[in-house]
């Protein structure tokens, strides 16, 4: 769907600080996402978000899609400089908890 739309696509790997085998995951991703740029981020390392932020240009639309608990609202709040979207802690299975 993304390829057909003609949009610029980035795959953003969030919460890199929680990944024990990042290099392995990047190799796996490279095999299935041929030609798509991958950006590795962690909100505990704000510099890792600099490049992603530079790609969010004024007057353009960005869509953040992904599973629950991957940090979409956290990154959006970071870029806005304030909490617009509520977030919760991860539950004990490592997955996100929908905010009520």
Quick one: three-class SS letters along the chain? CHHHHCCCCEEEECCHHHCCCHHHHHHHHHHHCCCCEEEECCCCCHHHHHHHHHHCCCCCCCCCCCCCCCCHHHHHHHHHCCCCCCCCCCCCCCCCCCCC
Task: Give the Å distances, CA to CA, from 84 to 28, 37, 56, 57.
Answer: 34, 28, 17, 19
pLDDT at 90: 59
The residues, ordered by sequence, that sit 6+ positions from 19 with a Cβ below 8 Å of its Cβ are 13, 25
In this prediction, the residues of the chain whose per-residue pLDDT falls under 70 are 89-100
Q: Which two tokens stand for residue 89?
A: 């802690």
pLDDT at 91: 58
Question: What pTM, to 2 d.p., does this model score?
Answer: 0.75
- Cα–Cα distance, 41 to 90 (Å, whole number): 17
């Amino acid at each position: 769907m993304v390829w057909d739309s003609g949009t610029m696509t980035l795959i953003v790997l969030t919460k890199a600080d929680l990944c024990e085998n990042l290099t392995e995951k990047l190799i796996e991703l490279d095999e299935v996402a041929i030609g798509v740029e991958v950006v590795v981020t962690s909100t505990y390392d704000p510099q890792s978000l600099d490049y992603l932020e530079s790609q969010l240009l004024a007057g353009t639309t960005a869509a953040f899609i992904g599973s629950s608990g991957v940090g979409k609202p956290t990154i959006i709040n970071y870029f806005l400089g304030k909490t617009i979207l509520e977030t919760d802690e991860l539950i004990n299975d490592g997955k996100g908890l929908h905010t009520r």
